[in-house]
Structure 1
Amino acid sequence: MLEYLDEFLIIAVAHFFAVASPGPDFAIVLKQSVQQGRRNALYTSAGVGLGIFVHVSYCLLGVALVLSKSPDLFNLFKYAAGAYLAYMGVQALRAQKNVEPMASIEGGQNNESDFKALRRGFLVNALNPKATLFFLSLFTLMIDPETPQAVQIFYGLYMALATWIWFSLLSVFLSKSRVRSFFHRAGHWFDRGIGVVLILLAMRVVL
């Protein structure tokens, strides 16, 4: 394993900058942390981490090469992702004013099941073209074709775990009472702002 240490370090650094940059994953974790509370956001973060396995799986199966050589197939995937982000954006734009913001914070305002939160995080990441492009370049340019599949699987496990930890830490911070109360002072405007961001991300994905 030590002989692949240099390759692993390159992947770890590239992954850190990719996961830390603002995008759909960050937007949805931020939204759920403020709107639904810590538990919901942690399950959403776990879903985001699980979504990594989708990208790793198709890269290991060679689908990444097919996807990179087929513009029509990639465009179909891109439009599906854009539609899902736009749908979530429209839902956020419909947010209503919270007449008792502090009560909702103290009560957690967790109206969603854990599975729904997990599914949302999973779909946002799995349908994220930014992640697709990152893994396409990672497995076709940065990882040597001669690298054993077991080692590549280890890379995938690491990236899924690191993604989960990163967004879980964000969830813990963003769901603190002070942070949530700050956003809840104009919660419906915050939700609508996130809705605009998600729709803009959808447009960027498609265009």
Structure 2
Amino acid sequence: MQETYLSGILLAYAAFAIGLFSPGPNIMAIIGTSMANSRSSGKSLALGIATGSFLWGTLTLLGLTSLLTFYASLMTIIKIAGAGYLFWLAFKAFKSAGKHQTQELNSIALGDNYWAYYRRGLLIQMTNPKAALTWIAVISLALDQAAPWWVGLSVVVGTTTLSAIGHLVYAYAFSTQTMVTAYRKARRWIEGLLGSFFTFAGYKLLSSDT
């Protein structure tokens, strides 16, 4: 039984981890804050965002579990919606790969109050309207109506760990202009690979048994 869900859990981890390679406003804020202020500021912001990821993951899991308890047939609709969002991410990645311009860095200045940076990161993530769709797509890669409780918990714990590590790496490694320049040179190739992976993940979600 464990092996039945292992591939789905690993695919969920991969989808979440791969998504971290496509910097959105959150990650650009971490990089910009680390460069303009300090790595410690960026790390505090990163931990706040990771905490927000955990809360979104937990809320999504509880919501999906509650729905499936009473309406098992909704799993098909949820997986179609999740796959649709993954295909949308693939489209955005391919579109971004075709562009020459990159996103601008966004620095946050809150002095040396690291707790304030943490709170700001948490607020940024919890008010992100795309977070719910992201988590529905990620969790549905591993979940079905017969999945035991530990499957969803494994996804939430594992992706929260990936979120903390990934965002901290951005705060630490990309706090110098050299690293930012190197990433921007490779960005279009990275976005192309991301688009390919999200397309694959969307296909796997649609073709999986519900």
User: Which amino acid in 1 is paired with 2:12?
Assistant: I
User: Which amino acid in 2 is paired with 1:144?
Assistant: D
Is this contact kept in 1: 2:39–2:175, CA < 8 A? yes
Is this contact kept in 1: 2:139–2:155, CA < 8 A? no
Is this contact kept in 2: 1:24–1:124, CA < 8 A? no
Taking a change above 3 Å as real, the CA distance of residues 141 and 163 of structure 1, as seen in their structure-2 partners, is closer
Report the equivalent of 1:10: 11
Report the equivalent of 1:86: none
Deviation at 1:131, TM superposition (A): 2.3
User: Which amino acid in 1 is paired with 2:159?
Assistant: M
- Secondary structure (helix, strand or coil) at the match of 2:20 reads helix
Is this contact kept in 2: 1:40–1:114, CA < 8 A? yes
How far apart, CA to CA, are the structure 2 residues paired with 1:51 and 1:119? 10
Aligned-CA RMSD value: 3.1
Report the equivalent of 1:168: 168
Is this contact kept in 2: 1:24–1:128, CA < 8 A? no
Report the equivalent of 2:53: 52
How far apart, CA to CA, are the structure 2 residues paired with 1:44 and 1:179? 21
Instruction: Specify every segment of 5 or more residues in structure 2 that has no aligned partner in the other structure, as ranges.
Output: 68-76, 79-105, 182-210
Taking a change above 3 Å as real, the CA distance of residues 153 and 168 of structure 1, as seen in their structure-2 partners, is same
User: Which amino acid in 2 is paired with 1:10?
Assistant: L
Counterparts of residues 180-191 of structure 1 (less than 5 Å): none
Report the equivalent of 1:34: 35
User: Which amino acid in 2 is paired with 1:127?
Assistant: T
Is this contact kept in 1: 2:9–2:151, CA < 8 A? no
Give the number of equivalent residue pairs. 143
| TM-score normalised by length of structure 2 | 0.58
Is this contact kept in 1: 2:8–2:141, CA < 8 A? no
How far apart, CA to CA, are the structure 1 residues paired with 2:42 and 2:142? 32
Counterparts of residues 1-207 of structure 1 (less than 5 Å): 1-62=2-63, 111-140=111-140, 142-176=142-176, 179=178
Counting helix residues as a fraction of each chain, which structure ranks higher? 1
Deviation at 1:29, TM superposition (A): 0.6
Deviation at 1:141, TM superposition (A): 5.6
How far apart, CA to CA, are the structure 2 residues paired with 1:18 and 1:37? 25
Deviation at 1:124, TM superposition (A): 1.6
Instruction: Specify every segment of 5 or more residues in structure 1 that has no aligned partner in the other structure, as ranges.
Output: 70-91, 96-108, 183-207
Taking a change above 3 Å as real, the CA distance of residues 143 and 63 of structure 1, as seen in their structure-2 partners, is closer
| TM-score normalised by length of structure 1 | 0.59
User: Which amino acid in 2 is paired with 1:132?
Assistant: A
Taking a change above 3 Å as real, the CA distance of residues 63 and 13 of structure 1, as seen in their structure-2 partners, is closer
Deviations 1:137-173 (A, max 9, x none): 2334652222222221121011111011111111111
Is this contact kept in 2: 1:47–1:117, CA < 8 A? yes
Report the equivalent of 1:81: none
Deviation at 1:42, TM superposition (A): 0.8
Deviations 1:26-49 (A, max 9, x none): 121112111221111111111111
